Homo-oligomer: A and B are copies of this chain.
Amino acid sequence: MATPKPLKDAGASAPASMAGLKRYLPFLDWLFHYRRQDLVGDVMAGIIVTIMLVPQSMAYALLAGLPPQVGLYASIVPLIIYGLLGTSRTLAVGPVAIMSLLTAAAIGQLAETGSPDYVTLALILALLLGGLQILMGLFRVGFLVNFLSHPVLSGFTSAAAIVIGTSQLKHIMGISIPSTESVFELLRYAFEHAAESNVLVLGIGLGSVAILFYFKDALGGQLKRLGLADALIVPITRGGPLVLVILGTVLVWGLQLDQIAGVKVVGSIPAGLPPLTVPTFDWARWQALFPTAITLAFVGFMESISVAKSLASKRRQKVDADQELLALGAANVGAAFTGGYPVTGGFSRSVVNFTAGANTGLASMITAGLIALTVIFLTPIFYFLPQAVLAAIVIVAVSTLVDLKTPRHVWHYNKADAAAWLITFVAVLAVGVETGIIVGVIATVVLYLWRTSRPHIAIVGQVGTTETYRNVLRHEVKTCPHVVAVRVDASLYFANTKYLEDTLLRVIAERPDVKHLLLIGSAINFIDFSALETLESLRQELRDAGVQLHLAEIKGPVMDRLKTSGFIERIGLNRVYLSTHEAMKSLACV
């Protein structure tokens, strides 16, 4: 493994700039305080994750339209790199369903599935993704992922899971289904051609799904009732896929189902460690893959950081978003040069890693080592592994991603967010994952702008003889005919500035004897240039209508801006007041 060397170097220069080193090589953190009792957990977790990862990585590669070994290759070097650079000690990096799906969607348009060209494009995509994430990390723009709102992510994940599940139908039914961006079309086709499905394949597929669900949901409880220790239950229940792989392989091999019944099998997988691969440079293709790389950078990072954070907080550990971007980026670059394809921290796998007792990055390095041994010695075994089994593994793995609880909460909480969820969900199902998430993001932003484009604007009056002024609609307050005092409960920016103008002009139009309009800025945190220009035209329109504009309670930073722009000068400093009460006094209103 690659650990020892950098370790020594680090040790050498340790006294010098340890802090700086630790920032970029977080493994130094745990390495020097590594305790023997940590090892048990790390080894245990490493083994259990391997049991999960071997079949999963091949299944996800299949989902991505890549040969199975690519999935295994993507589970070696990237894991080691993340183990060295990642700030999460329990994140399990490797191929994940959604990334595989996005990869397939993007590359499928540029090359024939299964062609060597297809594999090359996967390498390029991994490299682009890695480079992008590294840049995002260096420029500390990790915050950008916050622009993916929760409703959009939730809608996207659920819909993507359905897209993934349905994409496996062809393997389960043993028929070929023309690729389409729309799940609805795919289901219609599958339904129309259900009769043509290979009964034997269908049997293997559905049987596999049943067995997997049994392992996942039922077996654990039964073993508990038999009084088995959790330390044993976890690996057993998580071993479902592996057991299935063995069963399926033996079955097909024994009865030669691949020969006589046309059951599609994985076929021969080259033995040995991943080859050194160098992604070719080709401007046109890089351009074509770039948008997908961006999507992957965001989606992958979101999945990874969310699980990393939740696991870290459980043990009072911290993860650093920007360093995580660097680590995942490096991992993907690693994948690009060792015959892999885009990877990230997987959700369920990380949880398993955590519960199985992983204490440090060593756990994922152990996994990497075991996967390496697998590709060196065990690949021949997988020859007779039926694709239907892998498809079943994918389906059961993603089944947990379909979440219908969140949308119900969102709907209860607020309809705009619910709309964003629904738009994303439907868009992903109807027009595909990539377009879908983009539509979702645009929808969120437009809905947000729309919602903030009608800020709450209150006409206020004096409460009794106090110095406090409240909404005339909600409180018993005193006002006077020649002055109208208006409080705007929002910052003024391009999307709400027109609404403000129209509202204020209407207010004036409805009150012919008003001579002064007082704008109260207590809730205005900033005023952008568009809003400034609108204020200027508003000032003029009011003047034309014989109404004088006044300002009160403008916050310091906002005031500075208005001064530099000359706006304050134009309305006259004597018309700008610190408090509403002051303004009302000088306007002879109180």
Which residues of A are in contact with B by a Cβ distance under 8 Å?
A: 143, 146-151, 313, 316, 409-410, 412-414, 416-417, 444-446, 448-453, 455-456, 489-491, 493-499, 523, 525-526, 528-530, 532-533, 541, 544, 561, 564-565
Determine if A146 and B528 form an interchain contact, defined as CB atoms under 8 angstroms apart. Answer: no
Q: Which residues of B contact A313 (CB under 8 A)?
A: 541, 544
Q: Which residues of B contact A533 (CB under 8 A)?
A: 150
Determine if A147 and B451 form an interchain contact, defined as CB atoms under 8 angstroms apart. Answer: no
Cross-chain contact of A455 among B446, B450, B498, B525 (Cβ < 8 A): B525
Determine if B529 and A410 form an interchain contact, defined as CB atoms under 8 angstroms apart. Answer: yes
The oligomer's copy count stands at: 2
Determine if B494 and A147 form an interchain contact, defined as CB atoms under 8 angstroms apart. Answer: yes
Cross-chain contact of A525 among B146, B409, B489, B532 (Cβ < 8 A): B489
The listed residue with most B CB atoms (<10 A of its CB), out of A417, A444, A528, is: A528
Can you sample 10 A-B contacts with CB below 8 Å? A146-B453, A146-B496, A146-B497, A147-B446, A150-B530, A409-B529, A412-B565, A417-B528, A452-B491, A489-B525
Determine if B146 and A561 form an interchain contact, defined as CB atoms under 8 angstroms apart. Answer: no
Cross-chain contact of A445 among B414, B449, B497, B525 (Cβ < 8 A): B449
Determine if B414 and A143 form an interchain contact, defined as CB atoms under 8 angstroms apart. Answer: no
Q: Which residues of B contact A417 (CB under 8 A)?
A: 528-530
Determine if B564 and A412 form an interchain contact, defined as CB atoms under 8 angstroms apart. Answer: yes
Q: Which residues of B contact A528 (CB under 8 A)?
A: 149, 414, 416-417, 448
Closest CB-CB distance, A305 to chain B, in whole Å? 10
The listed residue with most B CB atoms (<10 A of its CB), out of A313, A496, A499, is: A313
Closest CB-CB distance, A312 to chain B, in whole Å? 11
Determine if A494 and B150 form an interchain contact, defined as CB atoms under 8 angstroms apart. Answer: yes
Q: Which residues of B contact A498 (CB under 8 A)?
A: 143, 146
Determine if B523 and A523 form an interchain contact, defined as CB atoms under 8 angstroms apart. Answer: yes
**Complex CA–CA separation, A452 to B445 (angstroms):** 13
**Complex CA–CA separation, A528 to B413 (angstroms):** 8
